[in-house]
């Protein structure tokens, strides 16, 4: 009996000392399916998604980036990208960055830099986005040269192909399991609407109620069947 009381006391102590976690305050999953040289994707990353980091909303978001987009695998196993070989290359580079720096703040900082260069049509200067040390360049070069990038891209291809409903264009933004379609530029409002915890400061100035029943169709997109630059990686 004394042993039973001791075990019960121990269990109660663990319960009361353990940090309280509200099921309703879990981070909101946000997935972005994109390709690096799609102008609408780069604009979204630079002008909308970056705001999550500057206004603190990223603290309630589980952000997942998938740099594959409208690419496709040909019969010979090569990957064809919609905007040509440089897009395949940058998709691979950004996939390697995500793998090397799994912390979202680290890899987004780099991807934001690259996509800012895309917006300015200076993406061939992508190497200037390394700000830490030559080691970072070497690690990314190793990921690319040893072919690990293709394993990562094939994983992204499988993930993209498994989307339900299937993606029709990029950027394809999914918040809490629901695609935003052409309303992707309202991503912050959808995050605020989905979050069940204490209202983040960044949400207080947003008209979240305006989303109910709305389909604005104002975001520009790149469809899968648009003319492709005839090249592969």
- At residue 205, what are phi and psi to the nearest 5 degrees? -100, 5
For the chain, give the percent of residues with pLDDT over 70: 81
pLDDT of residue 8 exceeding 70, the answer is no
The average pLDDT across 102-106 equals 95
Residue 138 pLDDT level (bands cut at 50, 70, 90): confident
Q: Determine contact, residues 96/152, Cβ cutoff 8 Å.
A: yes
The radius of gyration of the chain from alpha carbons, rounded to an integer in Å, stands at 21
Please give the pLDDT value at position 13: 32
Q: Which residue, 114, 87, 116, is CA-closest to 98?
A: 114
Structurally, what CATH architecture does the domain formed by 29-223 represent?
3-Layer(aba) Sandwich (3.40)
> Does residue 191 sit in helix, strand or coil?
helix
pLDDT for 205: 87
Which residues are CB-contacts of 29 (< 8 A; sequence separation ≥ 6)?
A: 61, 62, 64, 174, 175, 176, 177
pLDDT score recorded for residue 9: 37
Task: Judge whether residue 119 has pLDDT over 50.
Answer: yes
pLDDT confidence bin for 214, thresholds 50/70/90:
low
Q: What is the pLDDT of residues 37-47, one digit of tens each?
A: 999 999 999 99
Domain limits, the chain: 29-223
Region 179-186 average pLDDT: 94
Q: What is the pLDDT of residue 2?
A: 43
Q: From residue 34, how far is each of 5, 39, 170, 231 by CA, in Å?
A: 57, 10, 5, 18
Mean pLDDT value across residues 28-38: 98
The residue-averaged pLDDT of 94-98 equals 96
Question: Are 71 and 79 a contacting pair, CB within 8 Å?
Answer: yes
Using the predicted structure, report yes or no on whether residue 20 has a pLDDT greater than 60. Answer: no
pLDDT band at 108; cut points 50, 70, 90: very high
pLDDT of residue 82: 95
Considering the chain, what is the average pLDDT of its residues? 85
Res. 24: pLDDT tops 50:
no
């Amino acid at each position: 009996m004394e042993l039973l009381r001791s075990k019960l006391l121990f269990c109660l102590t663990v319960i009361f000392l353990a940090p309280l976690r509200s099921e309703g305050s879990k981070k909101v999953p946000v997935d972005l399916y994109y390709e690096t040289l799609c102008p609408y994707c780069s604009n979204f990353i630079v002008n909308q998604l970056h705001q999550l980091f500057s206004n603190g909303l990223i603290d309630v978001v589980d952000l997942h980036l998938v740099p594959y987009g409208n690419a496709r695998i040909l019969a010979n196993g090569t990957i064809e990208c919609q905007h040509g070989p440089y897009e395949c290359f940058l998709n691979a580079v950004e996939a390697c960055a995500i793998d090397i720096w799994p912390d979202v703040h680290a890899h987004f900082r780099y991807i934001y830099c690259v996509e800012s260069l895309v917006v300015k049509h200076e993406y061939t200067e992508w190497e200037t986005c390394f700000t830490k040390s030559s080691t970072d360049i070497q690690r990314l070069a190793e990921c690319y040269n040893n072919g690990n990038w293709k394993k990562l891209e094939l994983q992204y291809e499988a993930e993209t192909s498994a989307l339900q409903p299937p993606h029709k264009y990029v950027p394809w933004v999914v918040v809490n399991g629901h695609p935003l379609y052409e309303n992707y530029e309202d991503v912050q409002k959808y995050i605020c609407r989905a979050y069940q915890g204490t209202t983040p400061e960044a949400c207080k100035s947003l008209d979240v109620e305006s989303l109910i029943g709305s389909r604005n169709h104002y975001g520009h997109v790149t469809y899968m069947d648009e003319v492709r630059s005839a090249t592969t990686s």
